[in-house]
Amino acid sequence: MRKVIAVDLGASSGRLLVAKFHKQKLVMEELHRFANEPIEKGEHLFWDISFFLNEIKNGLKKYVKKYGASVSGIGIDTWGVDFGLISDEDMLLEDPYAYRDTHTIEMLPKVHEKINDKDLFMRTGVESAPINTIYQLAAIFNNRPELEEKTSTILTMPSLLVFLLTGEKYNEFTHASTTQLLNINDQNWDQEIMDKVFSRKLPLAEIRETNTVTGHTKECLNQAVGLGPTPVINVPGHDTACALASMAFQSKETVFMSCGTWVLIGVEVEQPVVTNEAYQWGFTNEGTIEQTYRLQKNNMGLWLLQQCKKEWERGGAFISYEEESVLLKQARPFQSFIDPDHEMFFNPNRMTEAIQEFCQQTKQMIPTTKGEFIRCIIESLSLKYRWVIDRLEYLTEKEVPSIHMAGGGIQNKWLCQFTANATRKPVKTGPIEASSIGNALSQLIAIGDIENMIEAKEVSSRSFHTTDYSPMDLSTWEQAYHRFIKYI
């Protein structure tokens, strides 16, 4: 039985899973899970890299205790856009800034004075957003030039963690495609963009081929956790690319939804779509495990509900999923809507107050009970996904026959059913641990146990359970949608 370890770090939680491959079936077993949030230092938000490394070590120790010192591979995937700065001495200069830090917002107009926003989109295929790596680097090097002088290598987040485990310095294609610094034509760093925006050459590490062994664990790590020398594999570094790799679609036109704190909605395309409409509607083109692209839109996910529940917990009201479901059913449908992607919901001090303010400004009924907040969020998310999928059909000139949702967010069955209702399309959900599964499949390709992605998706299909949702109450949801689009 072949075993590999998938390290899957999300923006709200991290996990290590052991993937056991035997007789063309894959079994995933959770080794270790931990909560993950940015830490505040001064007026900024950072990721605690020492914490990440310690939790990875804790997971590896649990593996060794149960299975021994031998494992066939380790792969790491994370959320997009964030990165670390490495010195000449191969030291991490400081903890990486977290994408939710607001220091980048003022950099958009300054960067666009040097290179036009639409030109950026045409060259990179990526929608401009304050969280993107290009604006983060511009903000950091503008406000802290001493860091620019000390930086000898820039590593995107999964590659940073691989470097700390192996000493190897490189970047990976799918994660690089989220930076807005990668040229969509040659799939390499765009020197013309960097020359226009930055005062000196950006020392971005080279991009190495995905699905390959790129190094081995350091001896100091092996001694600390009890492992033997272990291959570290360049899996798709972006968790959405990993999730997509795990999803066996019914049709090439099926829309994927990778669901969690964010929900990424898109379709696979051979070539990036960089039309005027794609630009105006805020679509983006990011890499896949097979070096093609995902035409997608990055949408708010369950972050809204997560933040409300944290508020209520601070007030002493912990709400289980079962209680959440009861509260939603008790609230009247379609009383008020929000645009989930409005900037006021990006990182407010109190999410409930932000929702109430939006409803007040748009002259709607203001939610007051927990059930009203929950229903407002889930309905609004589902209706926004309809808006996105309608535009995907326009951009690709193809009718979407079905939707495939995967990731932790599919545990919210109301979100799945409401998405089917709002979009008027059948929905298939699963697997939950999609990113970890795609991570493992990439490793098994790299070490030769699986031949290619066709076989990998067959393995995923026979190994993991899926659930089907049929659209319901179509006329009611259609009326709701036509009311909803007034607020976006």
List the structure tokens of 261.
């704190």
Q: What mean pLDDT do residues 11-34 have? A: 96
pLDDT per residue over 365-415, tens digit each? 999 999 999 999 999 999 999 999 999 999 999 999 999 999 999 999 999
Percent of the chain at pLDDT exceeding 70: 100
DSSP string, 12-70: SEEEEEEEEEETTEEEEEEEEEEE---EEETTEEE--HHHHHHHHHHHHHHHHHHH-S-
Q: What is the C-alpha to C-alpha distance for residues 253 and 10, in angstroms, rounded to an integer? A: 27
Active site residue 239: yes
| Contact partners, residue 207, CB within 8 Å, separation at least 6 | 170, 171, 172, 173, 176, 182, 187, 188, 189
Looking only at the bridges linking them, the beta strands covering 171-172 and 207-208 are: parallel
For the structural domain made of 2-239, what CATH number should be given?
3.30.420.40
Helix, strand, coil percentages for the chain (3-state, nearest 5): 45, 20, 35
Instruction: Please state whether beta strands 207-208 and 262-269 pair in parallel, antiparallel, or not at all (unpaired).
Output: unpaired
The mean pLDDT of 26-53, rounded to a whole number, is: 96
Higher pLDDT, 11 or 362: 362
Nearest to 134 by CA among 187, 197, 88: 197
Residue 393 pLDDT? 98
| Tally of CB atoms within 10 A around 461 | 14
CA 192 to chain centre: 27
- d(Cα 26, Cα 33) in Å, to the nearest integer? 20
Domains of the chain, residue spans: 2-239, 247-430+451-488
**pLDDT of 60 higher than 90:** yes
At 347 the pLDDT is: 87
Global pTM reads: 0.92
**pLDDT surpasses 90 at 250:** no
Query: What percent of the chain clears pLDDT 90, i.e. is strictly above it?
Result: 97
For the chain, the average pLDDT equals 97
Q: What's the pLDDT score for residue 257? A: 97
Sign of CA dihedral 485, 266, 304, 280: negative
The pLDDT of 90-96, averaged and rounded, is 98
Q: Which is more confident, 177 or 321? A: 177
**Model pLDDT for residues 418-431, shown as the tens digit of each residue:** 999 999 999 999 99
Residue 349 confidence (pLDDT) above 90: yes
pLDDT of residue 11: 84
CA distance 420 to 471: 5
Of the residues 101, 239, 339, 341, only one is catalytic, namely 239
**Is the model's pLDDT at 172 over the cut of 90?**
yes
Would you give the distance in Å from CA 390 to the centre of its chain? 22
Which CATH number applies to 247-430+451-488? 3.30.420.40
Which pLDDT score, from 0 to 100, does residue 12 have?
84
Amino acid at 444: L
Which is nearest to 345 in space by CA: 307, 394, 399? 307
